[in-house]
Structure 1
Amino acid sequence: MKFGIVVFPGSNCDRDMQDALQNHLNKEVVMLWHKDKDISMFSTDDCIVLPGGFSYGDYLRCGAIARFSPMMQSVIDFANRGGKVLGVCNGFQILCESHLLPGVLLQNKNQQFICSNVYIKGPNTEALKIPIAHGEGRYYADDKLLDELEKNNQVLFTYCSDEGVANEFCNPNGACRGIAGIRNKEGNVFGMMPHPERAVSPLLGNTDGKKVFELLGLN
């Protein structure tokens, strides 16, 4: 599997993602400038990544301007053809703004930027320690959509304690139903607020991020 990482003005986790994929998961990586359009070198077995950061300085809604970058139309077409797309943090926001994923990301409940380690879990998985760093990471959708996400097994990760227990005290940003990541109905577009690329190196004392890529089928 080959990976393309889209770089927007304001991206600040693109090189972290490149390092994680190349040096810790041994993947081939191609950096993609947001003003380019050509991703013909990727097949639908490959994956395009939208990294974290502050695309266009978050001057409008987070991800709202990046959604109109020339590269994004190619990414949308790629996703609609079944290609895998992963959005992390700001990338998750861009996916929601592009309507590749449902729902929105709102300002954190405490109205403050949060940078810390949290625990998340997927269905039938143990708690994984993954860093977060965001000011607008509160996933929001109405109850009807939330019920659909749960019914269709589209909730990838929820916030939890280090023992895997989900409650309001483990929810760092006030996300609806503690949602930390979701996928689309087709199962090829993934979005999450925590940063798995920051938890892949033994030198940092945490490699739980590798398990995230594995759970997403991107290892």
Structure 2
Amino acid sequence: MLPWGNEDTQQLIDILGKYNVKATFFVVGQWVDKFPESVKALSDAGHEVMNHSDTHPHMTQMSKEAMKAEIEACNQKIEQVTGKRPNLLRAPYGDYNDTVVQAARETGCYTIQWDVDSLDWKNLSAPEITKRVTEKIKPGSIVLFHNAALHTPEALPDILEKLQGEGYCFVPISQLIYYENYSIDQAGKQCYQNTNE
């Protein structure tokens, strides 16, 4: 089993609720097995619950069929708890290649990367997390945070207040990405392609 707990989940839900923010939570199937009540609480609070694989492997070291099995197992677990089938995958470790993208598409998922890493998983202090995120963010950014990171609940209110004060609004990732007419660059970023030119 993975070491991640769920001790911060309700606190994160409460903080996001206070600022009227809906977020996307990528969860591992094994975490769904261990904490189905937390998965349901996230979904019931209006947050997206999406796929982060079933067992958190390095997917680029697997066959395409094994990748698809990882994705499908996690999708089924999330759907069983929430009643909603995920359509987004964040590959563990950000480890992806063309085969991961193809496997995800064949299971009905779009792959997601991020461009701002809070580094909360390195146990940075709340002011360090806040500074890192607020200095690196730009319109369209996807920011990576982790449940059960030591200082994320402490940093989150300051980050939300500062960025909302600067005019940023926060949306779940499904409302941010392109679903057609795009390519993915080597950094994992979607690039819109105007097919009408």
- TM bin (shorter chain): 0.3 to 0.5
Give 1 or 2: higher helix fraction: 2
Q: Quick check: which one's strand share is greater? A: 1
How does the TM-score come out when normalised to structure 1? Answer: 0.31
